Structure 1
């Protein structure tokens, strides 16, 4: 049994060392390519996102449409269809939109 544990431990050490060496070689190659301006797999240099011009501010909200919605809400409240709390919630939504 001690021989089996020793073999497993040796395998783990070898595998860990191989992984560490492989990672170091990869980092070194990437550093050299970056310094020389070369990129692996003909990928070319990393592309930056294109600059987007800021959009023009949107036109002010159509107040006539909001006024009509508020009138309709007022009528529904007067008819008893909406409670005071429901009316206030809907009014807030219309004004925020």
Structure 2
């Protein structure tokens, strides 16, 4: 008996082959999508970690800067014994520096004590 070819829909073997091709393609595509999503998630995590490191470094730098002592102004030279008007001029200048905020209360008291020699 000669082999008669069916016209129209494919046979059972053709359907199985087509299903295998579709399933294989779907698996490959879903694997590529999952891989791309994983790479994107890793990149976002690395970016977040980098931002946290930068913020921590900036905070540490600010803390180190805040902890640095301010350089105090040089104390006034000791007053020479003798001329009273010179003493008054130095005290007046010292008072102006204190009022302007250049000298703190402690620095003002220390410099005044040096000028008065007490």
Give the structure, 1 or 2, with the largest relative contact order (CA under 8 Å, sep 6 or more).
Answer: 2
Pick the TM interval, shorter chain.
0.3 to 0.5
TM-score (norm 1): 0.38
TM-score (norm 2): 0.31
